[in-house]
Amino acid sequence: MRRKRSPMTLLSRFQPSASGSIIDFDPTASCFEIEGVSLAYGGKPALRDISLRVPRHRVTAFIGPSGCGKSTLLRLLNRLHDLNEEVSHSGRILLEGEDIHAPEVAVDELRRRVGMVFQVPNPFPMSIYENVAFGLRLQGGLTRRRMDDIVEWALQSAALWDEVKDRLRASAWSLSGGQQQRLVIARSLAVRPEVLLLDEPASALDPISTLKIEELIRSLKSQLTLILVTHNMQQAARVSDYTAFLQDGQLVEYAPTDTLFTNPSLRSTENYITGRMA
């Protein structure tokens, strides 16, 4: 069964927290708590014993070389691995204190609370309006007027409204790549998630579009928690508040972004961020 929640009550739960300046922030301010998570693809380990806490209403970046498991970890947070029968995992992941793998958790409800934006823009072959309304229609029970309002709000939040307000009925595939990615973000925002997972959201876009996406990410953290996977260290430095460095499926270092980039405590982190490691 799905819980019906009005977006307004949802918003009221986003209390901005007074987070600490270092990694040991107030545990009540953590959104995700990842405890001893390991994961294997058909017996081949991809994540080993990862534990970290993701602060609420902040941007947390996962960085690391290709194949380090950062995307794998991200997809675990909204249980997108569920459909892959070869994946096995252990450990606990808590979202606002609830185990997301608990049997009473409905996976579609979880995914509504934890939205996701992918590397390649994936708007559906529908109109711009229908793309944004897609998640709302799944919930149902909204009047036409209310739906229009939420669609407009979502497009404005994603900084796309001014560009598309005159052609909401046009196909989403008629937009440019950068616009498509912002449309996908608007689509995710429309269902009012608590967390937004971004899997290299700008890696397929041109520099201008990338800039817009980064601005958007910074502006969104007042509304929700963002987790960003990126292989672009400048991007992580520009937009994130906390950064986790992963290597070979292990969490190497996790610290406030300023600290991690200016004063990494481990040699391997320093090597990676200064580009001395492939």
Partner 1 sequence: MSRRLPRTEGPWAWLAAGSVALSLLLLGGLLLLLAVRGLGHFWPASVTLVELEDGRLLAGQAVRELPLERQAGRERLYFTGNRDLDGHVWHWLPVATIVASERPAELVVLERRRHGAFIGRLVAVGEADSLASAQSREAAWARLEAQLAELQELRDERERLRRDVLRPLIRRLDARPDDTAARQALAEANARVRELQQAMGGQAALLESVDGRRLVQPLDEVLRAWQPNAMSLGEKVGAWSQGVWRFLSEGPRDGNTAGGVWPAIFGTVMMVLLMSLLVTPFGVLAAVYLNEVAHQGRLTNLVRIAVRNLAGVPSIVYGVFGLGVFVYGIGGTLDDWFFSDALPSPTFGTGGLLWASLTLALLTLPVVIVATEEGLARIPVQQREGALALGATRLETLTRVVLPMAVPAMLTGVILAVARAAGEVAPLMLVGVAKLAPQIPVDGEFPFLHLDRKFMHLGYHIFDTAFHGNDVQAALPLVYATALLLVLVILVLNLTAIFLRHYFRSRHGVQPRP
The structure tokens listed for 232 are 């672009």
Mask 108-147, x = binds partner 1 (CB under 8 A)? xx-xx--xx-x-xxxxxxx-------xx--xx--------
Distance CA 135, CA 190 (A): 7
DSSP conformational letter for 223? T
Taking CB under 8 A as the rule, does residue 77 contact partner 1?
Answer: no
Mask 15-54, x = binds partner 1 (CB under 8 A)? ----------------------------------------
Taking CB under 8 A as the rule, does residue 187 contact partner 1?
Answer: yes
Sheet of 225-229: strand order equals 114-117, 195-199, 225-229, 59-63, 242-247, 250-256
Taking CB under 8 A as the rule, does residue 55 contact partner 1?
Answer: no
Pick the binder of partner 1 from 100, 191, 244, 273 (CB under 8 A). 191
CB of 20 to partner 1, least distance (A): 31
Strand bridging mode 250-256 / 242-247 = antiparallel
Q: Which amino acid is at 169?
A: R
CB of 272 to partner 1, least distance (A): 27
CB of 130 to partner 1, least distance (A): 10
* Number of residues forming the site for partner 1 (CB under 8 A): 41
**Cα radius of gyration (the chain):** 19
Sequential DSSP letters for 31-51? EEEEEEEEEEETTEEEEEEEE
Alpha carbon 174 to chain centroid, angstroms: 25
The dihedral sign for the CA sequence 88, 51, 272, 120: positive
* Angle value at C-alpha 8, between 158 and 227, nearest 5 degrees: 45
Residue (189 or 251) nearer to partner 1, CB: 189
Taking residue 16's Cβ as centre, other Cβ atoms within 10 Å add up to 10
CB of 192 to partner 1, least distance (A): 11
Please compute, for residue 78, the number of CA atoms within 13 A of its CA located in the half-sphere on the CB side.
24
Residue (153 or 173) nearer to partner 1, CB: 173
Taking CB under 8 A as the rule, does residue 220 contact partner 1?
Answer: no
CB of 79 to partner 1, least distance (A): 9
Pick the binder of partner 1 from 151, 205, 252, 255 (CB under 8 A). 205
Taking CB under 8 A as the rule, does residue 78 contact partner 1?
Answer: yes
CB of 87 to partner 1, least distance (A): 14
CB of 179 to partner 1, least distance (A): 10
Q: List C-alpha distances in Å: 145 to 128, 184, 190.
A: 17, 22, 14
Site for partner 1 in 163-182 (CB under 8 A): 171-178, 180-181
Interacting residues toward partner 1 by CB under 8 A: 2, 78, 80, 83, 85, 108-109, 111-112, 115-116, 118, 120-126, 134-135, 138-139, 171-178, 180-181, 184, 187-188, 191, 204-206, 209
